[in-house]
Amino acid sequence: MANEILRTLLPFAGWTDERAQEVTITGGADPILPTSFRIGESSAAALGAVGLAVSDLWETRTGRRQEVAVDTRRAAASLRSGKYMRMDGAGVSTERNTVMGVYPTKDGRWSYLHCNFPNHRAAALGVLGVSEDRESVTKAVAGWDALELEEAIIAAKGAGGMVRTMEEWAKHPQAAAIASLPLLEIIKIADSPPEPLPEGSRPLSGVRVLDLTRVLAGPTCARTLGEHGADVMKITGAHLPNIGYQEYDTGHGKLNAQLDLREDKDLETLRGLVRQTDVFSQGYRPGTLGGRGLSPEELAELRPGIVYVSLSAFSHVGPWASRRGFDTVVQTVSGITSRQGDLFPGAAPGPQFYPVSAIDYLTGYLMAFGGMVALNRRVHEGGSWLVRISLAQVGRWLLGHGEIPEADLKNVPDEFTPEEIASWSTVSDTPMGKLGHLGPVLGLSETPPRWARPSVPLGYHDPAWPERSK
């Protein structure tokens, strides 16, 4: 099945079905973890597509392609890589805020409140009129109809949603809008001369990537590019909320600087970085950066030949195009949590999230795949390129692979063996201590992926490019 899923990705790069034969996929089939969704095979397919894109870039440099290999079990583990981190031998907490979760509503439905970020938590608590206490939140949510609460929280600039079934979501106007789109788009947005890859010994050596994304999906894209030699600089702001452990998980291979894009001088610093950048990756809601002169078209003028990778929650079309969203929100509104709760009930009744952050990490891998395809096109035909994708489009792609029959979902283990995790893990010396974490998944015959830089605290580096890596 993983090879069939891989074939759905080949047309985006203009590849024929024969390219799938260059990827060796081992490790068995789903169910690998307790969910009916084909998370392991989808991850193996997405990483296989990344491997083929890396192979093409290597062929551009050397005239040689690489052999590509992916283990499905290891790929599935990568979809919750944050769980397997250890700092100086101790586990790293990945606990969510205590009021974040799913609650029963007055009309017999369920409502999900996304409360990990302080601003979203404040929005939800403000709508409900209660303090940060789960019992108080439970009582308050029980006084609302689920759809009314969803709209009120979104109006308050919060995040969350009413739990829907897959059948309900299929009839929703936003689902129809998403269905009108391909999984991702790789669009030439301006002309510029062909541009060779910088000199170097790795597929992405010397390629500079600015990462203006947060949480998991976008940072996973930049982390993946860093695995193959790119110089990556994450840009965040000291005033923006963050979740510490996620920065450890997605920070491998990156420089890390802070700018306040509300300030003209910092915005000008960013523009200076863009002029020397190859890939600009951003995950703000559609239109947000356009007001700061950072739209795809504006950056293509500032830096002809740029590859602009754009991530949103619910795509750039439809009534929810500007709505905040996360992996868990997409799971909630699209029927995934409803289905998961039916098949794998939790300790408490109600909808359940699947056991990994599949939409987030898969989106990150597919962003990296699209970015590398665009870079290779820049070499051969020139131009500035836009790679556009959303969490909801990836969720639709994941569900489109069908579910595992219920008869095959008995006694599915909920964890990998300690021996597997140990064999997939490595240790990095970081400014915070010795960080144990999963290593890169992809197998490549000539340039095995690795991170040249360890994770560092936010704002650890100055916002200035060093010499390009070789």
> What number is the average pLDDT over the span 138-163?
96
Residues with Cβ within 8 Å of residue 149, at least 6 apart in sequence: 105, 111, 127, 141, 160, 162
* Confidence label for 41 from pLDDT (cuts 50, 70 and 90): very high
> What number is the average pLDDT over the span 41-55?
98
> What number is the average pLDDT over the span 43-62?
98
Give Cα 337 distance to the centre of its chain: 19
* Confidence label for 436 from pLDDT (cuts 50, 70 and 90): very high
Measured CA to CA, the distance from residue 145 to residue 355 in angstroms comes to: 28
pLDDT tens-place string over residues 310-330: 999 999 999 999 898 899 999
In the predicted structure, residue 290 carries a pLDDT above the cut 70: no
When comparing pLDDT for 48 and 290, which is higher? 48
Residue 470's pLDDT is 83
Contact 306, 278 (CB under 8 A): yes
AA letter at 126: G
Give the full edge-to-edge strand order of the sheet including 307-312: 185-190, 384-390, 307-312, 279-282, 208-212, 231-236, 254-258
Measured CA to CA, the distance from residue 35 to residue 190 in angstroms comes to: 43
Residue 165's pLDDT is 97
Residues with Cβ within 8 Å of residue 263, at least 6 apart in sequence: none
Residue 115's pLDDT is 87
Query: Please, what sign has the CA dihedral across residues 434, 46, 315, 12?
Result: positive
Q: How many CA atoms does the CB half-sphere of 116 hold within 13 Å?
A: 15
Among 37-46, 109-118, 434-443, the range scoring the smallest mean pLDDT is 109-118
> Does the predicted model carry a pTM greater than 0.75?
yes
pLDDT tens-place string over residues 60-73: 999 999 999 999 99
Other Cβ atoms closer than 10 A to 317: 15
What integer best gives the mean pLDDT of the chain? Answer: 95
Residue 215's pLDDT is 82
In the predicted structure, residue 465 carries a pLDDT above the cut 70: yes
> What number is the average pLDDT over the span 98-105?
93
Residue 161's pLDDT is 96
